[in-house]
């Protein structure tokens, strides 16, 4: 849709060209959300597209995903042979309530910064122990784990004008085995629960990441694959009934039920 409040669109090739910041400024990534509804508080868009950041960079330490990397580029990523977690990229992307048109425009950073419970790129990068690099306006860069970046429904740790530059997925997490389950109330509906388990090749370091059912990612870590009882007890302790996110895509009791059901499936698969 046309955004009738916009009076200025900047297309910098370097962030040095971006001087000042006021309340009406907004970073523009793929624009799939920004142009999907009125943005009455926004008068200036600053397009990230021409900054020319390499979308995906493989290093010995892992994978660097630029915030401007498109969903479609991550979908096509093959990765190293020992990165057994790479098929999870496609599993999470396929769970998006998105048309192929949105896939081609939406960015990984845009999805993470939207910070919606059903943000599948949050699920993916949190489960793979991703760490965000943030560039504050005029300050020194800082890093925040993806699991701590999102603080609630459509809420995160970004300060005014602060930019998400990239997300680093460590090689150790990329080599783990993974299992994922996702459920929606309707066939192409928004996720009611998207749950991911990862475990090391030697059976140690079991990590369960609960998303979509909760306002922000919730992670449970065990030294090795837990028993069914231990997992259930940990879920109950960490996620009491009022910790679930109720919306039109599912009530809190429903999301609690499917979270426990799917977590047990994941545990069984990885054990
Ligand atoms: C049909 C449709 C289906 C959708 N389905 C889903 C879904 O299933 N799950 C889901 O989570 N979302 C969904 N969305 C919304 C979704 O979050 C966005 O479509 C997309 O992921 C956002 O990416 P973008 O690059 O287009 O971001 P934009 O629309 O360009 O930006 C989104 C927000 O993030 C900010 N932003 C973007 N990049 C950065 C950055 N690097 N640093 C700081 N701030 C930044 C922008 O200022 C803006 O506030 C859907 C949208 C549509 C239109």
pLDDT above 90 for 100: no
Tell me yes or no: is domain 176-270 CATH 2.40.160.40. Answer: no
Q: Is residue 28 lining ligand 1, measured as CB closer than 6 Å?
A: yes
- To test ligand 1's pocket by mutation, which of 1, 24, 32, 158 has the most ligand atoms within 8 angstroms of CB? 32
Please check whether residue 42 is in contact with residue 10, taking contact to mean a CB–CB distance below 8 angstroms.
no
Q: Is residue 161 lining ligand 1, measured as CB closer than 6 Å?
A: no
pLDDT above 80 for 99: no
CA 176 to ligand 1 center in whole angstroms: 28
Contacts by 22-25 with C-beta closer than 8 Å and gap 24+?
23/160, 25/161
CA 36 to ligand 1 center in whole angstroms: 10
Rounded distance between C-alpha atoms, residue 84 and residue 176, angstroms = 6
Q: Is residue 116 lining ligand 1, measured as CB closer than 6 Å?
A: yes
State the chain's mean pLDDT as an integer: 95
**Exposed/middle/buried for residue 238 (C-beta within 10 Å: 0-12, 13-18, 19+):** middle
- To test ligand 1's pocket by mutation, which of 94, 98, 117, 155 has the most ligand atoms within 8 angstroms of CB? 98
Residue having the nearest C-alpha atom to atom 12 of ligand 1: 119
Strand ranges across the sheet with 193-199 = 177-183, 193-199, 204-211, 218-224
Nearest C-alpha neighbor of 193 from the set 129, 265, 106: 265
Domain ranges of the chain: 8-50, 51-172, 176-270
Give per-residue pLDDT as tens, 211-235.
999 999 999 999 999 999 999 999 9
Q: What's the pTM?
A: 0.97
Residues of 91-125 as b/e, b for ≥16 C-beta within 10 angstroms? bbbebbebeeebbebbbbbbbbbbbbbbbbbbbbb
pLDDT above 90 for 134: yes
The H or E element spanning position 8 is: strand 8-10
Rounded distance between C-alpha atoms, residue 34 and residue 110, angstroms = 10
Domain 51-172 class in CATH = alpha beta
């Amino acid at each position: 849709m046309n955004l009738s409040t916009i009076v200025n669109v900047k297309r910098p090739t370097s962030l040095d060209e971006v001087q000042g910041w006021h309340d009406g400024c907004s970073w523009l990534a793929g624009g799939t959300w920004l142009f999907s509804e009125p943005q009455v508080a926004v008068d200036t868009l600053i397009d990230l597209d021409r900054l020319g950041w390499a979308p995906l960079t493989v290093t010995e330490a892992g994978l660097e995903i630029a915030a401007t990397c498109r969903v479609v580029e991550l979908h096509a990523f093959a990765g190293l042979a020992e990165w057994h977690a790479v098929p999870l990229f496609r599993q999470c992307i396929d769970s998006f309530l998105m048309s192929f048109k949105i896939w081609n425009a939406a960015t990984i950073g845009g999805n993470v910064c939207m910070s919606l419970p059903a943000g599948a790129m949050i699920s993916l990068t949190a489960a793979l122990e991703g760490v965000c690099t943030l560039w504050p306006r005029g300050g020194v860069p800082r890093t925040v784990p993806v699991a701590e970046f999102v603080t609630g429904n459509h809420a995160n740790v970004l300060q005014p004008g602060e930019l998400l530059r990239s997300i680093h997925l460590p090689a150790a997490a990329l080599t783990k085995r993974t299992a994922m389950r996702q459920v929606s109330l309707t066939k192409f509906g928004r996720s009611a629960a998207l749950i991911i388990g990862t475990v090391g090749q030697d059976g140690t370091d079991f990590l369960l990441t609960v998303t979509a059912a909760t306002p922000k990612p919730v992670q449970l870590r065990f030294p090795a694959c837990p028993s069914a009882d231990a997992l259930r007890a940990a879920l109950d302790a960490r996620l009491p009934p009022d910790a679930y996110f109720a919306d039109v895509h599912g009530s809190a009791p429903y999301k609690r039920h499917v979270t426990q059901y799917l977590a047990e499936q994941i545990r069984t698969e990885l054990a």
